[in-house]
Amino acid sequence: MHAVQLEIAQKLNVQPRFADNDALDTEITRRVEFIKQCLANAHLKTLVLGISGGVDSLTAALLAQRAIEELRSASGDQAYRFIAVRLPYRVQKDEDDAQACLAVIKADEVHTVDIAPAVQALAAEVKALQEGTPAHVDFVLGNAKARMRMLAQYAIAGARSGLVIGTDHAAEAVMGFFTKFGDGACDLTPLGGLVKNQVRAIARRFGAPESLVEKVPTADLEDLEPGKPDEASHGVTYQQIDAFLQGEEVDAEAAEIIVASYRKTQHKRELPFAP
């Protein structure tokens, strides 16, 4: 199993544990520079990111806002902008957390797009959805919500000539815990290679409150199970996933679940099949 752990960690570019705060600060700087370089390579000045109320989008946004502020300061060009986007489906259960994240981020702009009308209109037009069980239809529409959110972000990015930031990191990537062409679609992933506890550590280093840093992660896509914790879907904890990715020993059952999830979802991490 150790050989499998090492192989997966290498493919996901898992980063070593932060030895101390200096190492943490170095990694923050590296990722901020990465964001800045992505903008430079694209000859663009705007970043767009959906804010869910969870620690992943909070951390990515904090890195993005810092990158934009540094670019403005260095260049004197006020055209550099970071746009945080709220994308609720009707009234979000944890809207207070989303607003708390926005207060920490202090984004240049905040846009809000209610995706419910678009998702409901799509559902009404897709006759195939009328044939499924309530649970299956709810799951399918959950993925439609994720894709609609990304569609909205790309519409904003297109209107403002910007790049869309994704929040995927190694602990989600290994489980395939993202919607293909939904939250898995983006222009850059500044959290790539980090495990969950490292994402939390970066947010904490930025001064985010513990209530947000340690909030129970949820994709919150299914109406029949609102706020369902990620770990309930995984069948393992993020602590076990992090340990597995960083080469530590985990119990056999947890390791088998992680490896099986990784192999089952390989198609999500690849380009579309072609002859």
Residues marked as catalytic: 56, 172
For residue 253, give every residue at least 6 positions away whose Cβ sits within 8 Å of its Cβ, in sequence order, or none.
none
For residue 214, give every residue at least 6 positions away whose Cβ sits within 8 Å of its Cβ, in sequence order, or none.
55, 200
Residues forming beta bridges with residue 63, ordered by sequence position: none
- What span, in angstroms and rounded, lies between the C-alpha atoms of 123 and 35? 36
- What span, in angstroms and rounded, lies between the C-alpha atoms of 89 and 227? 13
Contact at 8 Å (CB) between 220 and 92? yes
Both tokens of residue 96? 């207070």
* Other C-beta atoms lying within 10 Å of the C-beta of residue 86: 19
Whose CA is closest to 172, among 185, 191, 153? 191
The 3-state DSSP composition of the chain as helix, strand, coil percent (nearest 5) reads 55, 10, 35
Give strand ranges (E) for the chain: 46-50, 81-86, 109-112, 162-164
Contact at 8 Å (CB) between 244 and 250? yes
